[in-house]
Chain A
Amino acid sequence: GAGVSQSPRYKVAKRGQDVALRCDPISGHVSLFWYQQALGQGPEFLTYFQNEAQLDKSGLPSDRFFAERPEGSVSTLKIQRTQKEDSAVYLCASSFSTGGTGNTIYFGEGSWLTVV
């Protein structure tokens, strides 16, 4: 597609439920990032993939969070046993290459998760 696509756009989960958030990056983009944006704050890094390899998951807040990108394209962020503090917008982003700090990173519109 033309841009980074995320689904669902909005998700309401009951506390304790598992959720899965999907990201379709721009075709051909090697790098894929997940960010978490709490209300009124800037996005914070969760994890990074280079193709199918998860090279950095240091930002994942707990072992309830799990991300995968098995074929180096679509990625899924899974949150198990959701808690109220997981309520946030989850942003997916992709970029064409891996090298250089000046590469443009393109963001999706985000998946808005509310845990009740």
Chain B
Amino acid sequence: AQSVTQLDSHVSVSEGTPVLLRCNYSSSYSPSLFWYVQHPNKGLQLLLKYTSAATLVKGINGFEAEFKKSETSFHLTKPSAHMSDAAEYFCVVSGLVRAGNMLTFGGGTRLMVKP
């Protein structure tokens, strides 16, 4: 079985300050992990993915995430928030629990950025 827990349903930061969105996972396999972003009325966009190469993964728009196996975590960070970062963020684990590389989503974290 696999599951994902996003520890904060809402995060509020001021523009220009760091962003930290927390994610813990469980998986019976060596997982692949992803972060997706969803802007209002828009589709899911891939920010970054971890697939057992480097543990520090860099994504688009200045985001990065670090895979820590000992902590079963995959937290998303950005040094300086921008107003356009306000959106819903999903931590996702992929595993061959059934046919195909099915994705299991966390509950999401809504990031709010204050001017």
Contacts and interface: CB of A to CB of B under 8 A. Distances in A.
| B45, B51, B100 interface centre (most CB from chain A within 10 Å) | B100
Contact of A101 (B45, B94, B105, B107): B94
A101 B94 CA distance: 6
Q: How big is the A interface, by class?
A: 20 to 34
Interface residues of B, number: 28
Q: Interface SS of chain A: helix, strand, loop or mixed?
A: loop
A57 B51 CA distance: 26
Given A48-B102, A50-B100, A56-B98, A102 B32 contact: yes
A105 B107 contact: no
Given A104-B46, A109-B42, A41 B101 contact: no
B35 interface: no
A101 B101 contact: yes
B106 A50 contact: no
A99 B41 CA distance: 31
A86 B39 CA distance: 22
B105 A31 contact: no
Given A42-B107, A45-B103, A101-B51, A91 B98 contact: no
Interface of B: 29, 31-32, 36, 41-46, 49, 51-52, 90, 94-96, 98-108
